[in-house]
Amino acid sequence: MAAGVSLVPEDDRNDFAGRRDLAFRVYVAAVSLSGLAVLVLAALSLDPASVLGLEPAFWALCALLLVAEVRPLFTAGARDANGLALSTSFVFALLLRYGLPISVLVQAVATTVADVSRRKAPWRTAFNIGQFTLSWSAAAVVMELAGHEASTAAPLDLMGADLVAAGLGGITYFLVNQLLVTVALSLKTGRSVLRLLRDDLAYEGLSSGALLALSPLIVLAVGRGTAFLPLLLPPLAAVYQVASVALQREQQALTDALTGLPNRTLLGTRTAESLLESGDAGTALLLFDLDRFKEVNDTLGHHVGDRFLQVVASRLAAAVRPGDTVVRLGGDEFALLLPATGAEEAEQTARRLLEAVRAPIVLDGLHVDVDASVGIAVAPEHGDDLDALLQHADVAMYLAKGTGSGVEHYDVSRDRNTTSRLVMLGELRRALSGGELEVHYQPKARLVSGRVTGVEALVRWRHPERGLVPPDDFVPLAESSGLIEALTGHVLDRAVGQAAAWRTQGLDLRVAVNVSVRDLSGNLLVDSVIASLTLHGLPACCLLLEVTEGSLFAESHRTAATLLRLDELGVCLSLDDFGTGWSSLGRLRRLPVQELKVDRSFVQRMAADARDAAIVRSVVDLGVGLGMRVVAEGVEDRATWRLLTEMGCDEAQGWLLSRAEPAEVLTPWLLARQAADVARASAVTG
């Protein structure tokens, strides 16, 4: 039998859990209703006129009680999140001086106000009130048996029987309250009552003891006259302060040092609480991942990266509702826990948050754009614990990143995508060895003369069922799975072989191969290049490697070393899709790059859009100024060709010239074109 497998069959375990859940509900209802019954009796026993006529100190205590209840000292890890409440001291003081009925009513009002402001579930508030009412009632019974009589007439006799009675009352309150909460917890979690009591009794006893011991002092002060009450405030504030410091330490273990947000540990506690409270109302978990943070970090430095994260964190924290939790999971990943929230509301929140973080951040005078992708998972449909919710939100987040939609919900049918991803990965692996990957070639020509100078190798997958699959549909998969080095090696070998074959036909062309950032940081590329060039006898200067701008600027030491070795070999480098990445002009100057390829998104619109034309013109000027060859990709019409020629751009690639074609289609075209070039040249010279 595998380690960790329970001897209890799955069905039985579910059955136990179901029965326990029912017992929990019955128990919560019983405590709530009993408490309510006592409150009704208490209300009936009071004469409103005599309540209104109570001394000012009574109202002052009520006000203090309310403040303390709404602002408790949260023990960060407190199991019921009620926190350490100074309000306990005030309720006990009320009980000692004014008796049970008014004390439990005041306590019930204060609890309701505090719980509503914290968006607690109504059943939870009802249970809290029930639990407190029953505990204080038990304390009152014991005190009465011990001879204590609540009275505003006589001050408390701290030296006599009253002190003993108060002590017994305090102990009774503590024990009954502890027992009521522990039984609920035991029914919910399945842990034994005794074990739970043993875990918590010492800590809870100490903190509650300290709070309860304050009450006779409060009563004494009030008995001396309302004027004494303010004297109590400084020591109470001091107690509050000392406890705050202790709690701060505890909280440090639960927060992220950089942003001050809660961390994953606290997310675990809060999620468990929310799942318990929200039930069928749903608990939404949003996974929030910044797009291209790594580039900011690598380009502008860690110090700026840290500040960037702090700004994003504060924007997120400011944009959520009270009761929601924003957590930094690590790196550029944040999670948001939204209690009592369904799928639709979660999506609205996600979109609102995206809007909130999207404004550019100014760091060291630079405007840095922020964007992010959000994945949403909602309990109970997508999981009933933190791990399941996080995993599913993660799948949704990657979907959002992949589709560029910004926000996606987890969807089981689309998660089969992960299964189909695995299937596709297996197929791609087979395609590589089975010859299903084809290389097509697209020419580049000089703008002024129209002479073809080289070709770009572009991979395609001839899938047995899906037909010709474009690279955008499988290159990212290869990149994220480690298959890219094999793919690049394959394309490189085919392209270098083809260039060598063309040379034997008199076609002297530079061949360009696209490499990804994983190739540059891996250790196979240089060896593959040397092996291919040697095997096919092609000079290194006939090979050009195209690297996207974004990947070069996320440069690591290994990338830099690879670039240097390629440069030493005499292989040329081209900066692809220029204008779409995060350029640092300083770094551009230092890179061993011979060619800039203006991204086709600008080129395609430059004839119609003056702003795009301005961008292209600037890139051309920049490249020419740095001594690089500038190539415009995506040239589809003559107007664009003419404009580019006027701007001083060197070469063009695009459908106007030719689409990417297999070598057997392109070779006759290249030969015809060369023959025409030669004829034109001899006509000019002859």
Which residues are near Mg ion by CB under 5 A? 514, 546, 576-577, 633
Among 162, 493, 577, 612, binds ligand C2E (CB under 6 A): 577
Q: By CB under 6 A, how many residues form the interface with ligand C2E?
A: 24
For Mg ion, give the closer residue by CB, 546 or 650.
Answer: 546
Sheet-wide strand order for 325-330:
325-330, 333-339, 283-290, 372-379, 407-409
Q: Please tell me the distance from the alpha carbon of residue 57 to that of residue 222, in angstroms, as a whole number.
A: 6
What is the nearest approach in angstroms of Mg ion to the Cβ of residue 401?
A: 20
What is the nearest approach in angstroms of Mg ion to the Cβ of residue 312?
A: 30
Name the CA dihedral angle for 85, 90, 95, 97, rounded to a multiple of 10 degrees: 170
Number of residue whose CB is nearest ligand C2E: 654
Please report, as a single letter, which amino acid is at residue 420. Answer: S
- 564: tokens are 């240097």
Among 106, 221, 591, 660, binds ligand C2E (CB under 6 A): 660
Instruction: Assess 516 for contact with ligand C2E (CB under 6 A).
Output: yes
Q: Is omega for the bond preceding 48 within 30 degrees of 0, making it cis?
A: no
Q: Is 348 exposed, middle or buried (0-12, 13-18, 19+ CB in 10 A)?
A: exposed
Structural element, H or E, at residue 204: helix 193-224
Instruction: Assess 514 for contact with ligand C2E (CB under 6 A).
Output: yes
Out of Mg ion, ligand C2E, none, what residue 660 binds, judged by CB under 5 to 8 A for its kind, is ligand C2E
For ligand C2E, give the closer residue by CB, 118 or 536.
Answer: 536
Among 442, 528, 559, 562, binds ligand C2E (CB under 6 A): 442
What is the nearest approach in angstroms of ligand C2E to the Cβ of residue 295?
A: 17
Which bin fits 331, alpha (ψ -120 to 50), beta or left (φ > 0)? left
Q: Please tell me the distance from the alpha carbon of residue 109 to that of residue 129, in angstroms, as a whole number.
A: 9
What is the nearest approach in angstroms of ligand C2E to the Cβ of residue 484?
A: 6
Q: Please tell me the distance from the alpha carbon of residue 645 to that of residue 632, in angstroms, as a whole number.
A: 10
What is the nearest approach in angstroms of Mg ion to the Cβ of residue 675?
A: 28
Out of ligand C2E, Mg ion, none, what residue 491 binds, judged by CB under 5 to 8 A for its kind, is ligand C2E
Out of ligand C2E, Mg ion, none, what residue 347 binds, judged by CB under 5 to 8 A for its kind, is none
For Mg ion, give the closer residue by CB, 137 or 604.
Answer: 604
What is the nearest approach in angstroms of ligand C2E to the Cβ of residue 399?
A: 21
Out of ligand C2E, Mg ion, none, what residue 94 binds, judged by CB under 5 to 8 A for its kind, is none
Out of ligand C2E, Mg ion, none, what residue 444 binds, judged by CB under 5 to 8 A for its kind, is none
For ligand C2E, give the closer residue by CB, 120 or 600.
Answer: 600
Give residues 268-327 in contact with ligand C2E (rule: CB under 6 A). none
What is the nearest approach in angstroms of Mg ion to the Cβ of residue 509?
A: 16
Q: Which stretch binds ligand C2E (CB under 6 A): 37-45, 284-292, 470-478, 521-529?
A: 470-478
Please report, as a single letter, which amino acid is at residue 239. Answer: V
What is the nearest approach in angstroms of Mg ion to the Cβ of residue 369?
A: 21
Pairing mode of beta strands 510-515, 452-463: parallel
What single-letter DSSP state applies at residue 382?
T
For Mg ion, give the closer residue by CB, 103 or 442.
Answer: 442
**Do the Cβ atoms of 418 and 625 come closer than 8 Å?**
no
Instruction: Assess 458 for contact with ligand C2E (CB under 6 A).
Output: yes
For Mg ion, give the closer residue by CB, 135 or 514.
Answer: 514
Per-residue mark of binding to ligand C2E, 188-217 (x: CB under 6 A): ------------------------------
Q: Please tell me the distance from the alpha carbon of residue 11 to that of residue 18, in angstroms, as a whole number.
A: 10
Structural element, H or E, at residue 441: strand 437-446
- 369: tokens are 């754009």
Instruction: Assess 600 for contact with ligand C2E (CB under 6 A).
Output: yes
Please report, as a single letter, which amino acid is at residue 514. Answer: N
Q: Which of 413, 384, 408 is nearest to 394 (CA)?
A: 408
Q: Which stretch binds ligand C2E (CB under 6 A): 127-135, 214-222, 392-400, 510-518?
A: 510-518
Distance of CA 505 to the CA centre of its chain: 56
For ligand C2E, give the closer residue by CB, 25 or 642.
Answer: 642
DSSP 488-522: HHHHHHHHHHHHHHHHHTT---EEEEEE-HHHHHS
Out of Mg ion, ligand C2E, none, what residue 107 binds, judged by CB under 5 to 8 A for its kind, is none
For ligand C2E, give the closer residue by CB, 393 or 591.
Answer: 591
Q: Please tell me the distance from the alpha carbon of residue 393 to that of residue 382, in angstroms, as a whole number.
A: 9
Among 393, 654, 670, 673, binds ligand C2E (CB under 6 A): 654
Tally Cβ neighbours within 10 Å of residue 627: 7
Q: Please tell me the distance from the alpha carbon of residue 491 to that of residue 460, in angstroms, as a whole number.
A: 10
3-state class of 409 per DSSP? Answer: strand
Among 320, 340, 475, 544, binds ligand C2E (CB under 6 A): 475
Instruction: Assess 471 for contact with ligand C2E (CB under 6 A).
Output: yes
Q: Which of 245, 224, 596, 258 is nearest to 444 (CA)?
A: 596
Q: Which stretch binds ligand C2E (CB under 6 A): 108-116, 181-189, 465-473, 615-623?
A: 465-473
**Do the Cβ atoms of 468 and 409 come closer than 8 Å?**
no
Among 634, 641, 651, 652, binds ligand C2E (CB under 6 A): 634
Q: Is 179 exposed, middle or buried (0-12, 13-18, 19+ CB in 10 A)?
A: middle
Give residues 533-562 in contact with ligand C2E (rule: CB under 6 A). 546
> Alpha-carbon torsion 616, 620, 626, 630, what sign?
positive
Residue length, the chain? Answer: 686
Out of Mg ion, ligand C2E, none, what residue 636 binds, judged by CB under 5 to 8 A for its kind, is ligand C2E
Out of Mg ion, ligand C2E, none, what residue 375 binds, judged by CB under 5 to 8 A for its kind, is none
Q: Please tell me the distance from the alpha carbon of residue 460 to that of residue 472, in angstroms, as a whole number.
A: 9
What is the nearest approach in angstroms of ligand C2E to the Cβ of residue 184?
A: 58
What is the nearest approach in angstroms of Mg ion to the Cβ of residue 390?
A: 36
Q: Which of 488, 462, 461 is nearest to 472 (CA)?
A: 461
**Do the Cβ atoms of 176 and 138 come closer than 8 Å?**
yes
Residues binding ligand C2E (CB under 6 A): 442, 458-459, 470-472, 475, 488, 491, 514-516, 546, 576-577, 600, 633-636, 653-655, 660
